[in-house]
Amino acid sequence: MINIKPSNQINLFGLNKFFDELVNLEQNSNLPNKILLSGQKGLGKSTLAYHFINYSLSKNEEHSYDIDNYRIITENTTFKTIQNGSNPNLNVIDIQPEKKSIDINQIRELIAHLNKSSFNKKPRFVLIDNIEFLNTNSINALLKILEEPTLNVHFILIHNQKKILPTLLSRCINFRISLTNKESLEIANILLGGKLYEFINKDLINYYQSPGNIFNLTKFAMTNDYDFSKMNLKEFLKFIITNTSYKNNEIIKYLIFDFFETYFRDINLNFSSNIYHKYTYFLKRISDTKKFNLDEESLFHEFEKKILNG
């Protein structure tokens, strides 16, 4: 199975119109220096950012970005230096493994780097992924440099539709990224070599809106040698809760939360008072589990007992 790490993706799927909009702003010298790409996780927002950055930085290189086909030429210097982490015009910040937030020290290191003189006349980019994981201290430090940005520096912030401080949101030009369900399925199928429905039941796929989510569910099935192709939503939820293999996969853990809400819609679109009460109860349980980093296992088993077996 291919690696869908954003910095590795040489092709851009489904987000061409957003890329064109950024290019048009850049070509007319109107590119904002604080850009927010917001939308559901797994749409390809980070991939879009890497493509635009490659377009911008590889203009005068021998193998510049292929703007007609929305494709990064792997021979270009910008792509190679981004891959090995040595590009002087790009700083990338993301939540580190085993951490719960983006630490203030990461922002301090960024500030120190931006204060150094540039080695060339190309624009400089700061790409901050998963900004919902910025803690209070790191947000406050970031706000200071956003208020007084260094000349020719562009910030691209990736936001996955979770709550962020209004003070941060108000300082950026927000590009709302979205795909239709059809577009998501088409992109996911391309990423999976046209074999999407060999791995996942349509009953599950219909509830996903982002190609990344579909891909990660398929990858989870293949890695663990699970056959989800014949499981409907209820069967899948029972299996996944009983199996507990979600414990080692944060992405799948959060996808299960989404499936819970989907299941409520599936069993009764016109909620009875009893179903509505259970629905609101579990919504709060999910919210509290995420907010306070609570153990999700008790929540999952309660859902199985009261809803799936109720």
| pLDDT tens-place string over residues 36-77 | 999 999 999 999 999 999 999 999 999 999 999 999 999 999
Q: Are residues 166 and 202 in the same domain?
A: no
Residue-level pLDDT at 34: 95
Number of domains in the chain: 2
Last residue of one domain, picked from the residues 152, 176, 200: 176
Q: Torsions phi, psi of 24, nearest 5?
A: -60, -40
Q: How confident is the model at residue 100 (pLDDT cuts 50, 70, 90)?
A: confident
SS3 66: strand
163 and 219 housed in the same domain: no
Q: Which of 176, 211, 233 is the last residue of a domain?
A: 176
* Residues 160 and 31 grouped into a single domain: yes
Residue 54 within a domain: yes
Question: Which of 176, 193, 226 is the C-terminal boundary of a domain?
Answer: 176
Is 64:58 a contact under the CB 8 Å cutoff? yes
* Percent of the chain scoring above 90 in pLDDT: 60
Lowest-pLDDT choice from 13-27, 195-209, 225-239, 252-266: 195-209
pLDDT at 267 over 80: no
Q: How confident is the model at residue 269 (pLDDT cuts 50, 70, 90)?
A: low
| Furthest-apart CA atoms within the chain: distance in Å | 65
Q: Are residues 66 and 147 in the same domain?
A: yes
d(Cα 214, Cα 195) in Å, to the nearest integer?
Answer: 12
Amino acid 235 reads E
Q: Work out the average pLDDT over 181-189.
A: 91
CATH number for position 151: 3.40.50.300
Give residue-wise pLDDT tens across range 149-166.
778 899 999 998 777 778
Instruction: Give Cα separations from 75 to 50, 85, 103, 118 (angstroms).
Output: 15, 16, 34, 24
Q: Is the dihedral angle over the CA atoms 5, 11, 65, 131 positive or is it negative?
A: negative
Give yes or no: residues 200 and 253 share one domain. yes
* pTM of the predicted protein model: 0.90
CA distance 275 to 279: 6
Instruction: Determine phi and psi for 134, rounding to 5 degrees.
Output: -70, 130
Look at residue 1 and tell me if it is in a domain: no
- Do residue 140 and residue 200 come from a single domain? no
Give the containing element (helix H, strand E) for 35. strand 34-38
Structure tokens at 276: 């509505």
Asked, for residue 26, whether it belongs to a domain, the answer is yes
Start-to-end Cα distance in the chain: 38
Does 235 share its domain with 281?
yes
- Tell me which residue range forms the domain holding 76: 6-176
56 vs 125: CA distance, rounded Å: 10
DSSP string for 165-180: -HHHHTTSEEEE----
Do 213 and 147 have their domain in common?
A: no
d(CA 228, CA 218): 8
